[in-house]
């Protein structure tokens, strides 16, 4: 009996795991291997190149490149602006939606969510247009150069926020809807209303959802690529190695340095793993207390 159920368990998990190994693990292992080799040509380079073992050379090169390290600083600055804006903004909007005063909730949710259904590439076309001085009605209205070097970070944050805020609002709102009615009633009886009800009672109830959204926002930030790449095409104030992921891609496709690209990618994945491990660990400890 037990054996049969064990067999079923394996059969249930196997299809996913097989695909997972084929599509993610095998290529990842390949990338890990790739990161240990480098291609060497000689002279003018018009003869054949050979692949030589480089050990940790590619990792050293990536880490000692100021452009690569600078990318992490950009990410840190980006997180500093984006994380509170996204999580805080989504939370506030969700609370507003959840408040009794809000009208047309379904329509509003849909309106907020809509940008998420727009493919990144199409978002690119739209935003580059809206950021371009001379073309954009917004630039003229705000007298703000979105593409100036001091502003691009915010412009990137804006695109990401536009694409993702509705998504987080829906998650938070769904969580708020699931908060047991009795608890809210009890709190109201105790005299909690408005802001206090929202922040002292409701927010703690959906903490898990908030932490989760925050975690994914950070993981997404580490892998930041599409939005700055979009701006990079239109304005050089976002450099080709602005974020670590862009660095990896430039290394692979502009410099044909696959070893370096693979090493950089492994480092990015490693940082992501460490960070999310730390976050889950910290939140797990807090909730078990």
Report the site for other proteins in 185-224 (rule: CB under 8 A): 185, 188, 193-195, 197, 206, 208-209, 219, 222-223
Smallest gap from residue 289 Cβ to other proteins (A) = 18
Residues in the chain: 289
77 binds other proteins (CB under 8 A): no
Q: Which position among 69, 77, 99, 183 is part of the footprint of other proteins (CB under 8 A)?
A: 99
Judged by CB, which is closer to other proteins: 74, or 252?
252
Candidate ranges 72-80, 133-141, 281-289; the one touching other proteins (CB under 8 A)? 133-141
Per-residue interface string for the shown chain with other proteins, residues 218-257, x marking contact by CB under 8 A: -x--xx-x-------xxxxxxxxx---x--xxx-xxxxxx
Applying CB under 8 A, which part among 14-22, 68-76, 80-88, 281-289 lies near other proteins? 14-22
What is the pattern of x (binds other proteins, CB under 8 A) and - over residues 24-63? xxxxx-xx--x---xxxxxxxxx-xx-----------x--
Nearest alpha-carbon partner for 74 in 219, 205, 244: 244
Angle between helices 226-234 and 244-253 (to 10 degrees): 60
Pairing of strands 50-53, 37-40: antiparallel
| CB of 81 closer than 8 Å to CB of 154 | yes
Q: In angstroms, what is the minimal distance from the CB of 262 to other proteins?
A: 8
Q: Considering only residues 134, 285, 288, 289, which one is a binding residue for other proteins as defined by CB under 8 A? A: 134
3-class secondary structure, 206 = coil
Separation between Cα atoms, residue 160 and residue 55, nearest integer Å:
37
User: 226's torsion region: left (phi>0), alpha (psi -120 to 50) or beta?
Assistant: alpha
| Residue 184 makes contact with other proteins by CB under 8 A | yes
Torsion of CA 107, 109, 115, 118, to 10 degrees: -70
Residue 31 or 83: which CB sits closer to other proteins? 31
Place of tokens 């070097």: 149
């Amino acid at each position: 009996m037990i054996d049969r159920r064990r067999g079923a368990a394996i059969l249930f998990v196997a299809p996913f795991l097989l695909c997972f190994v084929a599509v993610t693990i095998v290529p990842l292992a390949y990338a890990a291997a790739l990161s240990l080799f480098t291609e060497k040509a000689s002279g003018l380079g018009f003869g054949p190149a050979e692949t030589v073992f480089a050990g940790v050379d590619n990792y050293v090169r990536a880490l000692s490149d100021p452009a690569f390290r600078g990318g992490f600083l950009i990410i840190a600055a980006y997180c500093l602006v984006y994380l509170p804006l996204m999580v805080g903004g989504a939370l506030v909007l969700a609370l507003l939606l959840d408040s009794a005063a809000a009208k047309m909730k379904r329509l509003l949710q849909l309106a907020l969510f809509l940008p998420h259904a727009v493919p990144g590439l199409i978002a690119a076309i739209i935003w580059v247009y809206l950021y371009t001085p001379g073309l954009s009605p917004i630039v003229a209205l705000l007298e703000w150069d979105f593409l100036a070097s001091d502003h691009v970070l915010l412009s990137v944050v804006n695109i990401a926020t536009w694409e993702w805020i509705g998504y987080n609002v829906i998650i938070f709102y769904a969580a708020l809807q699931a908060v047991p009615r009795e608890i809210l009633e009890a709190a109201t009886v105790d005299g909690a209303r408005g802001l206090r009800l929202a922040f002292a009672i409701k927010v703690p109830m959906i903490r898990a959802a908030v932490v989760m959204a925050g975690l994914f926002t950070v993981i997404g930030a580490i892998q930041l690529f599409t939005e700055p790449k979009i701006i990079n095409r239109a304005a050089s104030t976002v450099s080709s190695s602005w974020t670590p992921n862009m660095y990896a891609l430039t290394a692979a496709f502009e410099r044909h340095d696959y070893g370096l690209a693979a090493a950089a990618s492994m480092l990015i994945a490693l940082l992501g793993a460490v960070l999310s491990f730390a976050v889950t660990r910290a939140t797990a400890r807090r909730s078990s207390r």
